Amino acid sequence: MIAAVVLAGLASTAAAETCREDVVMLRSDAGSARFSVEVADDKAERAQGLINRESMAMSAGMLFVYPEPQAVGFWMKNTLIPLDMIFMDETGTVKKVHHEAQPLDESPIFGGQDILAVLEINGGLARKIGISEGWTMRHAAIDQSKAAWPCSESQ
């Protein structure tokens, strides 16, 4: 049911929708999803992340963008809600999904090497939708000459 809410209307709007800073779209042969996002693209915003938030809308998330691909790691210190972390390379291709990171846990969560962006969404949602390695993201933060799903391409 949750996946249906996130996926509602995507098929009819994806082809017409251009890349927007506040929207992340994900797709694979298995399905697609759309999230309204806040973008954290500088050091201070990435450090703040979703700290101290008590809730997040089901179709919302935060997209962390780095200036260049690199090894990235997260922790849940001062984060109050469970999160799924979706790690993507410079093409926007999902390389790893960490499911249901636990609130307040200080254990490191590593996403791997050559990660350009990380999408955080509500814990458990990636599994419900079926988001896994190989899915691709459409967003303006991806260099369009390298994007697996460019902004100019229709669904």
Q: Which two tokens stand for residue 85?
A: 């972390």
> How many other CB atoms are there within 10 angstroms of residue 101's CB atom?
19
Distance CA 39, CA 95 (A): 20
Torsion angles phi and psi, residue 55, rounded to 5:
-160, 165
Q: How far is CA 100 from CA 76, 142, 147, in A?
A: 11, 25, 27
Torsion angles phi and psi, residue 17, rounded to 5:
-85, 130
Q: What's this model's pTM, rounded to 2 decimal places? A: 0.89
The per-residue pLDDT for range 24-66, each reduced to its tens digit, is 999 999 999 999 999 999 999 999 999 999 999 999 999 999 9
State the number of CA atoms in the 13 A half-sphere of 3 facing the CB.
12
Place of tokens 């093409």: 91
Mean pLDDT over residues 87-102, rounded? 98
Q: What pLDDT score was predicted for residue 153? A: 81
